[in-house]
Amino acid sequence: MIVFDKVRIAYKDRPVLNDVTLKIEDGEFFVLIGSSGCGKTTLLKSINKLLPLKSGSLSINGIPVKDVTVQDLPKMVGYVVQSGGLFPHMTVEENIALTMQIARMSKGEIQERVDQMLRMVNLDPDIYRNQYPSQLSGGQQQRVGIARAFAADPPIVLMDEPFSALDPVTRSELQNEIHYLHAKDKKTVVFVTHDMDEAIKLADRICMIQNGRIVQCDTPENILKHPANQYVMEFIGANRLWANPNYIRAADIMRLHPICIVEGRTVIQAMQIMRHNGVDSLLVVDKKHMLLGLVRLEDLIGKQGSDVVETYLTDDYIAVEGETSLKEIISTIDYGVSGVIPVISHSGVLLGYLTKSSLLATMSKQFVPERSEGERSGVICPTN
């Protein structure tokens, strides 16, 4: 675990990080995000012992970073910078070997590991081992940079905007690879970006930094749903949540107070409730508000009025749990069946409901900005 406790860092007398208190768990994919100059690189460098603290403490697994020796550092922390940060006068092999030499690994071990690392980042060792960085594309250089950071097998890998100079296709490829490497080796990754999409794609937790302070540190889902302030909101952008429909859940968009009836009441009473509320189906619950099922008007017509309503429950409906994502809801609902989609808790308690029109209304919010009063009439023109 990496623990920051009230860390302050200043360049000369200008404070750059203020009061940073933070715990990064082992195996976490932790993403730092914020506007240029907010202190992301400074925070990352401090973990790699590249900057002294003005005050506060910083430790890795209980060991103060200031006490870690230069030889031990590559075994604890790997570091990838934006453009790969390779030494131009050294071959790929020499570049990757560097951290292992500092860590005093044996020659044979280093040689074997260079090849293993190159294969890990999908570069053929026989082709690339002896090439110089200038002979490689940006994406290949970045792969070598990653290979170097992983070479001494550190449990922590720091990555400072590693993909920001790459074209979108290579970028997406490397994002997938780093996601895979992180999961496979259970490394702790601290990753800096200024790209919210990248952060959402990769992060277990996102840490938003503004002017050297942490303003919010939470899961992507919670950041998208509950941005802490205007700065975070601007970073997220208006429609970001909608680009990630797996973070929108039934409980977020359901309507409350569905029309329901408690078991033991009669067909006559059910039909009265339907007529009174202008609906053609009712949700049937028990006395603890557990959902028992659904009855439809068409199934009650002509039946004995004194029968209890649960005699006529239909099989022809689906319920979703509050945690179900919009994506799953949309892919599982049966467009042929009309009516309500009850939303239930894990234990089956009725929480609310969705209808196809409520789903449509919710989804259309992504395209239609909230309108202010007095703007409700007029001609709607296509925007492009």
Token pair in block for residue 370: 């909230």
User: Which residues are bridge partners to 354 per DSSP?
Assistant: 341
Q: Which residue has the tokens 């017509």?
A: 301
To ligand ADP, the closest distance from the beta carbon of 38 in angstroms equals: 4
Which residues in 39-58 contact ligand ADP (CB under 6 A)?
Answer: 39-42
Among ligand ADP, Mg ion, none, what does residue 37 contact (CB within 5–8 Å per kind)? ligand ADP
DSSP labels, 248-284 = -BHHHHPBS---EEETT-BHHHHHHHHHHHT-SEEEE
Cα separation of 170 and 155, whole Å?
25
Among Mg ion, ligand ADP, none, what does residue 16 contact (CB within 5–8 Å per kind)? ligand ADP
Cα separation of 261 and 177, whole Å?
53
Return the range that interacts with Mg ion (CB under 5 A); candidates 34-42, 128-136, 182-190, 239-247.
34-42
- Cα three-residue angle 66-67-69, rounded to 5 degrees: 105
Which residues in 37-76 contact Mg ion (CB under 5 A)?
Answer: 41
* Among 11, 104, 107, 316, contact with ligand ADP (rule: CB under 6 A): 11
Cα separation of 321 and 332, whole Å?
12
Which residue's Cβ has the minimum distance to Mg ion? 41
Using rule CB under 6 A, residue 36 touches ligand ADP? yes
Q: How many CA atoms lie within 13 A of 3 on its CB side?
A: 10
Q: Which is nearer to Mg ion, 42 or 175 (CB)?
A: 42
To ligand ADP, the closest distance from the beta carbon of 139 in angstroms equals: 22
Using rule CB under 6 A, residue 324 touches ligand ADP? no
- Cα three-residue angle 299-303-309, rounded to 5 degrees: 70
Q: Which is nearer to Mg ion, 37 or 52 (CB)?
A: 37
* Among 7, 16, 146, 223, contact with ligand ADP (rule: CB under 6 A): 16
Among ligand ADP, Mg ion, none, what does residue 85 contact (CB within 5–8 Å per kind)? none
- Site for ligand ADP (CB under 6 A): how many residues? 10
Helix (H/G/I), strand (E/B), else coil: 87: coil
Using rule CB under 6 A, residue 162 touches ligand ADP? no
To ligand ADP, the closest distance from the beta carbon of 14 in angstroms equals: 7
Using rule CB under 6 A, residue 38 touches ligand ADP? yes
Residue type, 14: R
Using rule CB under 6 A, residue 210 touches ligand ADP? no
To ligand ADP, the closest distance from the beta carbon of 164 in angstroms equals: 11
Q: What is the dihedral of CA 239, 243, 244, 249, to 10 degrees?
A: 60
Token pair in block for residue 281: 């189906």
Cα separation of 354 and 11, whole Å?
55
To Mg ion, the closest distance from the beta carbon of 143 in angstroms equals: 21
- Cα three-residue angle 66-71-72, rounded to 5 degrees: 65
To ligand ADP, the closest distance from the beta carbon of 278 in angstroms equals: 57
Q: Which residue ranges make up the site for ligand ADP (CB under 6 A)?
A: 11, 16, 34, 36-42
